[in-house]
Structure 1
């Protein structure tokens, strides 16, 4: 499966990145960044931390759907997944992120 990062800019001028799977579905998304350089640093942090099992924090939403956070070595959240239908889908997204994020190309749409 080939994944890619996509950088976008919203109407307020904030930059975001998403990690998309081969089908274009979001595996992970960032917070808003005021500067594009900060957003790019976030992408690099995901690339560096995605391979480490300890950086994944599985969570459960109030409605019971699973999702996960990816954290940097300092404990800061660098990306959050969407809500998944079930644990298997969440685990598959973690596996794809772990396997492919480090080498994923960046598609800059900002």
Structure 2
């Protein structure tokens, strides 16, 4: 019985310490607004660019700043998925992009 309890506690601590940074990052992104600079936005921009969500000819930068072109790409992505078109990192968008599993 003690072995089972220690295994469960170990599993709980492991999940907490492994997932905590991703949960914090997703909450940080969900609060992001244009002009914010958040580590990891660059990876999302690469993802959206790879799959063609930036409009042809639209100037965009690949840094970690939430800019107009990212908002536009997010809207195109959300529209294509049939989820609410907000241009922000809402929970549906976060799940679709799967931000916490880079």
Q: TM-score range by the shorter chain?
A: under 0.3
Task: Using structure 2 for the length normalisation, give the TM-score.
Answer: 0.28
State TM-score, norm by structure 1.
Answer: 0.26
**Larger relative contact order (Cα-Cα within 8 Å, sequence gap ≥ 6):** 1
- The structure richer in strand per residue is 1
